[in-house]
Structure 1
């Protein structure tokens, strides 16, 4: 069983080194508990102890109103997937954002607290398991508690485990083909999405150089997915303008600073792919902006001779550009 742990704040969603590590720690060496559950996806929601950023006041209010609806657990039996959402109270959104800048360090207390909070939510998971589901919940519960008690609290030991788990994942991935490694649920995307973007590497959710693999591109995809459910007939450019405004970037002057130019490049590229993946098309104006942003970024790294990932980045961006140019127009 794969265990994936995300976190959600009022203004962001994604992974965090300490929370992700808690899931990896449970997954590594895990025995079989039955084939009813292949994936346990956990999202930790954190209270934001501070005012909202400018223009994000409504998102701030909506997020905290939603906290009152937690916890919740959904069992997607056909997909063999359990999704658990709950408010975690061992830290706050402010503290998480304070430690956001690289290098992001492992915080052992956060790893252990993630496991503690999960243990507290296990009765909710149990309530979703039926007698005819092939899943040994009692053994799973004992396993989680045992692993929590065995968790090392030394940063160096946890870093060694990260390396061990990365090697384990690599070995497991080598058994799969390029598409299987992605573990994509195609029901979440447009029926022709794979045909429109037929290159597996452009679907990666972990590759920094993939359109929706970096943090900004991943956030753009998921925010657009939610927006698109109610705005499928509206132009994606309208969404782009609003999203950039929320992120304090002027769509008409995105290259005013290193931060705004890089964020704009990742956002507009990520949105072009998000539109193709979810709608099966990408409007021409958005395609033009994305290609232009890629060209701008490629030019900016042309003289970065000391950067070890330069060639890999250029190759991936040129693939992205070619894919965008071939996307069907709206």
Structure 2
């Protein structure tokens, strides 16, 4: 809502920036999801490097990463069921944090950048002062901005909707994973769209930076050890079976996206795990997403078999 409030009726400040991306990180005092304890520790270590900002001039994108200290991630989660509502106190605290970061943002600009930073700073300060104190006043603004965003989004083609920075991936990645859904970060049936597949992709990116010449199977072995899954007997439980399946398929696509290839052992393993998954859901006739799941699994299997 803080971002929507700033965006609502916003004037132009110059051509140097098309997008201001603000990421607010929250300390999470609760227990980590099983197998992700080390990632939680790394995240909390990363909080110490905040705030930080980056100006990508060619892309006209300014990014700001700050820590939200007015609440914890655990407290947010506790209040997210039923669906979380707009909280004016949180919105004001978030806007305060953004305004306080203005001096840091200002340092990123050069004299020849076409951007009126003083007007931008004054605008943000004014919006903070004018922030309503009730949900009833904020809700119409939220609805209007959301509606405009949805209308603009629907005009984009399927690839544009993904909003992916292709520089992070291998030049052959889109050829190897040629369907937009295979790049989705929200589709449960996409290779890297479910939680496990997404974690696998991010962890493989990090591992690959230091292990470019090593087999992806070495990464898989380490991943399974970290996640307490017996790679020799992965179907011993429902958790183990499903996590193993998602990790294998996620890794096959992660390797193709990052390295531009998927080695034979991994291809065969992904092939067999997809076959196993299709067999397990074949009799689940009452599941409303069965056909969609089977179709996307078949597409993933065919795509993996064609990978270099």
Fold match by TM threshold 0.5? yes
DSSP-derived class of the 1:82 partner: strand
- Stretches of structure 2 that go unaligned for 5 or more consecutive residues are none
Which of 48, 69, 76 is equivalent to 1:68? 48
Task: Give 1:283's match in structure 2, choosing from 248, 258, 263.
Answer: 263
Contact 2:4 2:141 in 1 (8 A): no
In 2, Cα distance between the equivalents of 1:258 and 1:162? 41
1:260 CA drift (Å)? 3.2
Q: Is the 8 A contact 2:26 2:72 kept in 1?
A: yes
- CA separation in 1, counterparts of 2:226 and 2:104? 35
- TM-score under structure 2 normalisation? 0.81
Secondary structure in structure 2 of the residue aligned to 1:84: strand
Q: Secondary structure at the match of 2:23?
A: strand
1:232 paired with 2:212, answer: yes
Given the superposition, is the C-alpha separation of residues 182 and 28 from structure 1 closer, same or farther in structure 2, using an over 3 Å criterion? farther
Alignment pair present for 1:182 and 2:182: no
Corresponding residue of 1:15: none
1:36 paired with 2:19, answer: no
Cα offset, 1:63, TM superposition = 4.2
Alpha carbons 2:92, 2:131 under 8 Å: kept = no
* Alignment equivalent of 2:58, drawn from 59, 63, 78: 78
Range with bigger deviation, 300-309 or 196-205:
300-309
Flag the 1:127–1:146 CA change in 2: closer, same or farther, 3 A: same
Deviation per residue, 1:59-100 (Å, 9 max, x gap): 565544443332111111112222322332123354456568
Bigger mean CA offset, 269-278 vs 149-158: 149-158
When the two structures are aligned, how many residues end up with a matched partner? 306
Of 75-84 and 275-284, deviating more is 75-84
Q: Which residue of 1 aligns with 2:84?
A: 105
Distance 1:261 1:99, change over 3 A: farther
Q: What is the match of residue 243 of structure 2?
A: 263
| Superposed displacement of residue 213, structure 1 | 2.3
Q: Which residue in 2 is equivalent to 1:150?
A: 131
Task: Tell me the TM-score normalised to structure 1 length.
Answer: 0.77
